[in-house]
Structure 1
Amino acid sequence: MADKEVNSARYGSLPFEQQISFFRNKLNVPTESWTELWRHGHNSGFSVAGAMKDDLLNDFRRAVDAAIADGKSLTWFKKEFNHIVAKHGWEHTGKASWRAKVIFDTNMRQSYNAGRYEQLQQFEYWRYAHGDSRYPREMHLKWHGTLLPKSDAWWQTHFPQNGWGCKCRIYGVSQSELERKGLTTTATPNDGMREWEDKTTGEVHQVPKGIDPGFDYIPMRDANQAKQQQLAEKKAPVYQAPERLVSTAFSTVKGVNVDGLNQVLRAFSTTSSAPQVAKLGEFLNIHDIRSVFVKQAEMGLYNKGAKDIQQAVQGYLKPSEFSPRYLYAIRGYKNTRGFTSKHFDHVVVKVASTTKLSKVDVNELRQLVALAHEFYKRGKPEFSMSHIVRTYGESKGHSGTIVTWLHELGHQVHYKAGGPSAPAFQGLTRYGGTNSAEWHAEHFAAWLLNRNALAEFNADIANYFDKLVEQAIANGANNG
């Protein structure tokens, strides 16, 4: 467990890895009309109707990617849209505000639903829930509460998004929940088909009633590759997302996300900490350690906030024998900054709603180990590494979040390496002196932030962690 704090909290957004991955795996496809990229073609194709130039599509791609991965707002995207249009002199149909909203909403919601489709595979049954649309569709309201096995063919055409602006969602139901609550599956809706003519080509399509043309597909099914390749004869050099050392993260705060973590680690990779960062990336990958960032109101076992995010967190984490809320909530939530367990393959970090990883000061964090050493030499060691940066640093809780995250990862490194007892070395902080587990967590954070400074404090500790991390990685490789 990491060090202590008391903090207030409010809710934020829930970006997640499957959503980001779905969008980033797409191919740029220039199209004149939205109907050219039809149904499953949207799974692996990114297009903006009327955007035929490669560099124009790539600029839109970058903006949408930032909106998905970094939780950017519609207001931000509209400004980016206007900037891109002005830069390329693009003449688009419809008002700019409306066109930007359509691009934003469609890509955000369909990438989210694609991620949800991946997450929902662990549930035996799926339940359809009508969203809070401004203009509710009669059919969508009728489907509310439909509970069917995930293998039912109805989901192949009715998995949301089911139309422009549709906010319907699917929730997973396990076999045990079905039995515990006495639920029963419903009859498969059979509302028939209707004809829809593409005015551009004259082609007539059979579309399920209640679904907008082109939306009768699952966002993760195989794409219509033949038509897509025809459209992409002059494929653009597609936007390349930055390489990730951390592949996944779950957060309920906009300013804390997987891209922010990777930006911080990339900054560390330009320093003498590069070898340690590379080893951390290797460890995270081989053990598939996941990270959960939640606000204080979401960490109490019986808090409404914890209940509200339970399904989302459960979908992100690996199946576990533990009750879902025990994976990210804890009784002493007001007095902890984070926690993990030897039974987990994830760490939990508490963040404030105002936390932004973009405000992390890497240079300040690099000096943290030397500062802890200075306090030690004066005979007044500080409580913890996190406490030092949050108390004396300019970047406060922003950088403190990274230290707490590394502290909890230090526990996981210790567990995966076999949980050896701490060597008989004095610790940098008082918290590191409480027990073997906290000694490992505190000094692992110091090892990654600035191994050279840790070696100046005690070269044996630095060498110890070189070997410990290698052992943790080797254990994962052997088990694989």
Structure 2
Amino acid sequence: MAVRYGSLPFEDGIKFFRQKLNTPSSSWDDVWQNAHNRAFMVAGVTKADMLNDFYTSVDKAISEGKSLGWFQNEFNNIKSRYGWEHNGEPAWRSQLIYETNIRQAYNAGREGQIQTLKATRPYALYKHGDSETPRVLHLKWNNLVLPVDHPWWDTHSPQNGWGCKCKKFSLSERELKRRGLTVGTAPDEGNYTWTNKKTGEEFELPRGIDPGFDYTPKNTAQLTSQAKKQVADKPPLKQRVADYQATRIVPSAYSTAKNVTALKLDPLLAQLDSEVLNGLNSFLTAKQTKTLFVKSNEMSAGSKANAAIRSDVGEYLGVDDFYARMQYATRSPKRVGGFTSVGFEHVVVKVKASQNLAKVDMQAVQDTAALTVRLAANNAGKYSFKHNGQTLKRDHTISDTLNALDKNEAHAVVATWLHELGHQVHYYAGAPAFLKNALPVTYYGAANKYEEFAEAFTAWALARKELKKWQPELVSWIDQLVKDATKSQEKRR
């Protein structure tokens, strides 16, 4: 598959590739987005001589129209010559390098022409390729027409992922009418959070775009210095991990609701009391507890929605598909707000597509939790029940009281996440019986020692001062259990 335009080599594509800098790298994401326009890299190749050999082979493939078979032979010769051990099968890896570089060279050359001719050809057309496994959104965008300078193209100009064969063409007003096309509206598919599994770093990306492909291939001179600087400034992997984790509270999260993510939960938790925040940070740094934000139908065992996310969940948790299905499914999704298990290193929180953590008022969350604790202290909650010979009145759960704050119940997500995290703290602390003579914070908390601790932990996190006024010994006990859990290397139930 040569970079060609009609029957002749596509000179603009060849020029694009030849202005790239050889960039040794340990990982494909060592350079990001637009820097790929100026950086030639083969993930895992850190030797300059070896990288130069790959560069020469790719250049020949682009400029001379060498076949995939020829490049695969070159690939095998180079890796043998340098004794390189790489990820993936040789045939797959060589095809990935070959096709990605050729397509992006073509796309960059095409983009240069589109920009040059936009005065007379002011529209751009998205055309889906003939991939064996077409992406749903790429198919949806087929025949979409937008102005050449529309910002949607900044992140959606092909190639939009590994193996993507989509293309972008320019159109004049006359061609637009002749084809029966009209200028459309830029799709808004929302974003998703991609987690770099090596560093824990998270990035918000447009849905339908693979990580690292949310840029426009182009041939702009100033990108040379950008690529050099990005590579030179990138700290070693260990330092990147440490630096990133130092700025985070929630280590990571997988979410099927675009506005319920770890990135949006973090600033809410940052508003907690310093004593609580220190405890959470210590525990989460030590345990790296993961989070699954999934919708009710996705939690339903055996459902299509459940099966649809199985591979993604498995990849996030680092388990195979068979095991993944047991990590987020329940027989009664409508009855639960979340769950976890002593065998999990993650928590599951039920969410809705309509929820948006960016709209959560954290002060209102804390005030409502404090009110729940005050009502419990005054034995004035909604539900009456017997507990150790006493008649107690409590609200049902802290999460339930937060549901009144917004119709989408987004505020309750914060409390549910803390409740489930409380279970993990309890397991790591040895799952002790609830503190003697301490009283449950909520009705649900009186069910057993596990829920009693989880509800008390949620109150400790959201309304520590109010809980301390009522039960200071309970606050001190939870403080100590968080420390014990952080140091512990095993769990008990």
**Could you tell me the TM-score, scaled by structure 1's length?**
0.54
User: How far apart, CA to CA, are the structure 2 residues paired with 1:303 and 1:150?
Assistant: 34
Contact 1:37–1:45 at 8 Å: present in 2 too? no
- For structure 2, the residue ranges without an aligned partner over 5 or more in a row are 1-14, 44-67, 69-85, 105-127, 134-162, 167-210, 213-222, 236-242, 382-393
1:421-469 deviations in Å (ceiling 9; x for gaps): 1123211210111110001110111111121111012111111100010
* 1:46–1:443 CA distance, 2 compared to 1 (3 A): same
Q: Structure 1 pair 475/33, CA: closer, same or farther in 2 (3 Å)? A: same
Q: Deviations over 1:99-134 (max 9, x none)?
A: xxxxxxxxxxx9xxx9xxxxxxxxxxxxxxxxxxxx
In 2, Cα distance between equivalents of 1:406 and 1:317:
20
- Tell me how far 1:233 sits from its aligned partner: 6.0
Change (3 A) 1:332 1:236: same
Indicate how the Cα distance of structure 1 residues 48 and 326 shifts in structure 2: closer, same or farther if over 3 A, else same: closer
Counterpart for residue 155 of structure 1? 92
CA shift for structure 1 position 415? 0.3
Which of the residues 219, 228, 232 maps onto 2:228?
A: 232
Aligned-partner residue type, residue 280 of structure 1: L
- Using the TM superposition, give the Cα deviation of residue 267 of structure 1 relative to its aligned residue in structure 2, in angstroms: 3.0
Structure 2 match to 1:379? 380
Q: What is the CA-CA distance between 1:412 and the residue it aligns to?
A: 0.4
Deviation for aligned residue 1:244: 1.2
* Per-residue deviation, residues 169-204 of structure 1 (Å, max 9, x unmatched): 99xxxxxxxxxxxxxxxxxxxxxxxxxxxxxxxxxx
**Equivalent position SS for 1:323:** helix
Unaligned runs of 5+ in 1: 1-31, 53-109, 115-138, 140-148, 171-208, 213-217, 220-226
2:432 is aligned, of 420, 426, 447, to 420
Aligned to 1:314: 314
Q: Root-mean-square deviation (CA), in Å?
A: 4.2
Shift of 1:228: 8.5
How many pairs were matched up? 300
- 1:19-98 matches, within 5 Å, as 35-37=19-21, 43-46=29-32, 48=34
Where 1:348 maps in the other structure, the secondary structure is strand
Report how far residue 474 of structure 1 moved: 1.2
Structure-2 residue corresponding to 1:346: 346
Q: Is the 8 Å Cα contact of residues 369 and 454 (structure 1) preserved in structure 2? A: no
Amino acid of the residue matched to residue 364 of structure 1? Answer: A
The one of 483, 487, 490 aligned to 1:470: 483
Question: Aligned partners of 2:267, 2:130: CA distance in 1, in Å?
Answer: 32
- Supply the AA of the counterpart residue of 2:380: G
3-state DSSP of counterpart to 1:232:
helix
1:440 aligns with 2:447: no
Corresponding residue SS for 1:275: helix
Q: Is the 8 A contact 2:355 2:408 kept in 1?
A: no
Change (3 A) 1:331 1:252: same
The whole-number CA distance in structure 1 between the counterparts of 2:330 and 2:259 is 23
Q: Distance in 1 between matches of 2:432 and 2:231?
A: 53
Report Cα offsets for 1:230-257 as digits up to 9, x if no partner: 9626989889989212221100110011
Distance 1:153 1:228, change over 3 A: farther
Conserved in 2, the CA contact under 8 Å of 1:250 and 1:313?
yes
Structure-2 residue corresponding to 1:259: 263
Identity percentage of aligned residues? 28
Partner of 1:398: 410
TM-score by length of 2: 0.53
Aligned CA distance change for structure 1 residues 474 and 309 (closer, same or farther; 3 Å)? same
The structure number with the bigger radius of gyration is 2
SS at match of 2:271: helix
Structure-2 separation of matches of 1:453 and 1:371: 8
Q: Is the 8 A contact 1:360 1:398 kept in 2?
A: yes
Whether the 8 Å CA contact 1:290–1:345 is kept in 2: the answer is yes
| Distance verdict in 2 for CA 1:166–1:260, change over 3 Å | farther
Which letter does structure 2 place at the counterpart of 1:400?
A: A
Distance 1:234 1:344, change over 3 A: closer
